[in-house]
A and B are shown apart, each in its own frame.
Chain A
Amino acid sequence: MNSIPSILDTDIGDDIDDVFCLALALRCPEIDLRAVTTSMGRTAERAEIVRDLCNQANRRPEIAAGFTTTMGSQPVEEWLTRLYYPFEPKTGEFKADAPEVLRLISQLPAEGILFTIGTMTNAAAAVMARDRSKSFPRIIAMAGEFQRYGHIEFNIRCDPEAANVCFTSGLRVDLIPWSIGPATKLLPADIAALRAATSPLARRVVYYLERFWKIVPNKTNMYDPMTVVAALHPELFEWKRGTVKVELAGRNTYGLTTFHAHDDGPHRIAWDVKADEAKAFLVQRLCQ
């Protein structure tokens, strides 16, 4: 099987699941990870974490720091400045370079996958800048929520306008919604298995997890890694096809996502997941 040309766009440094997602992508020979791009606020510092994890895996994808701001119309200063586990000591290797992010995404072939697991600002800019004479790669996004009342999912909430650009583009987007994350929460036995793993990458994942837990204790919801699991094992998910919309006009519902099911919609949402099997795949790959 040919490996899938891929780019991972991440706000790593926030919730810990981005670390797990990047580590999984680095551990999957089915994924040809050509670049990792960072979004949201302190993107240069996020890129340093990416470099660190890639080094541990002895992999050398292109790394670029993306947009430091968002397209959204509401202030998100708190999230733009937040970084739970920066790489220490700082290397200063990266500077925010949004044009480089757009260049990298533009080079991703149509059969590739753009994974977006943070705010969709970079992806939206790439969608707007795309060469319309060519097909755009498939997007798999950790974004939105469709089952939990009133829940405005974080990646959408940080930049609803960007998400709207992606969802109204007519491009194919598969979504891993918020509710898949708690369903695939890692349990103590999973963490114990990870602690017992001897690879430098697995050890580094545990290192970042422990730093994250000092601020957000015990959180192990696996939202983001499920994008990679879904790319390789879509049969582990129950999919619904239709159209996702982002509320941009609501006073109380700005950023809320809605889903209208229909057979020819451009979007698929993961409605349910075989959680044990999906987690087993993730943990097994990380522990290899």
Chain B
Amino acid sequence: MAITVHLDTDIGDDIDDAFCLALLLTSPELEVKSITTVLNDTALRADMCRDLCKAAGVSPKIEGGAKSVITRRPVEFAMKRQPYHSALNRTDNKTNVPAALELLTEARRTADVLLTVGPLTNLALSLVADPDVSRFPRYIAMAGEVATAYHAEWNIRVDTEAAAVVCGAGMPIDFIPWRIGIDTKLSQQEQDELDNASTPVARVLNAFREQFRTVDKRQEMFDPMTVVALLHDDWFTWQRGHMLVETRAEHTYGQTVFRKDNNGPHRVAVAVDTRKAKQFMLDRLSGKPQ
């Protein structure tokens, strides 16, 4: 039986969210049961998810979640950012935060796995509404940074208060930090390889990539590494401890501090076999038999 997954994503910003969902949809071990989107025009982001799901021939529940953030520090840099790519087909679905939180609540009760690859606003709201984490899916988050000096990672920085709620909630969390994405950046050859992929999901992904390329050149694979980590834990080197989020600071607000502790609830990926991880992802996206 397939492993059921809920994805919470800010797809439409950096291109790696689209890679993440496409990889989920092309992984036969996994079944995407539900998706929530976060930050700004979440209805548009939800439509982008529908494009990819339709190409995969599946129709999970999808809801547009929180448009704004919990933190009261200025985050105009995130709130004013225009999407880097758009949906191929727009629907009449509107942002519906209560419905998104219901989806998350249901996923917390029934899904096998929760992946968050955007700011943590939706999950924080869900945890504030119901702090009971005695039953929680296996949870992997692309968030934080533990190797680069004073780097406040985007998903944390955009809603630091939400990240603090999530990190302090008590359930086990596996973190894919920023550095893993940098280490798994696609080479030009790897991008060319993907350009030639012709599966239905790859075609939608490539349409997004083409839009993205007109505004940004980055090819760091932050978000899809959550899926790779789910399926190939042993390709990553993990450290166990406590991920702390700095919420009081003046100059270091939004930075993560990792305290090693063999009994801590969190694991953070400090290294990855980049060759295996990238090849696995590219083969899946290209529809190559494995």
A→B interface (CB under 8 Å):
145-151, 245-253, 256, 258
Contact = CB atoms under 8 A, between A and B. Distances in A.
Contact of A253 (B148, B151, B249, B258): B249
- The secondary-structure label for the interface of chain A is loop
B161 to A, nearest CB: 13
Interface stretch (B21-29, B54-62, B214-222, B240-248): B240-248
Please give me the 9 A-B residue pairs with the lowest Cβ-Cβ distance, nearest first: A250-B249, A253-B252, A252-B257, A249-B250, A247-B252, A245-B251, A251-B248, A247-B251, A258-B251
Interface string B244-280: 1011111111010110000000000000000000000
B149 A251 contact: no
A251 B251 contact: no
Contacts of B151: 149
A258 B246 contact: no
B150 A258 contact: yes
A54 B145 CA distance: 47
Q: How large is the interface on B (under 10, 10 to 19, 20 to 34, 35 or more residues)?
A: 10 to 19
Nearest to B257: A252
Nearest to B147: A149
B146 interface: yes
A256 B244 CA distance: 15
Given A247-B251, A258-B252, A252 B149 contact: no
Contacts of B149: 145-151
A245 B252 CA distance: 10
Given A150-B258, A251-B246, A251-B247, A256 B252 contact: yes
19 contacts: A146-B150, A149-B145, A149-B146, A150-B255, A150-B257, A150-B258, A151-B149, A247-B249, A247-B251, A247-B252, A248-B250, A249-B248, A249-B250, A250-B246, A250-B249, A250-B253, A251-B247, A252-B249, A253-B257
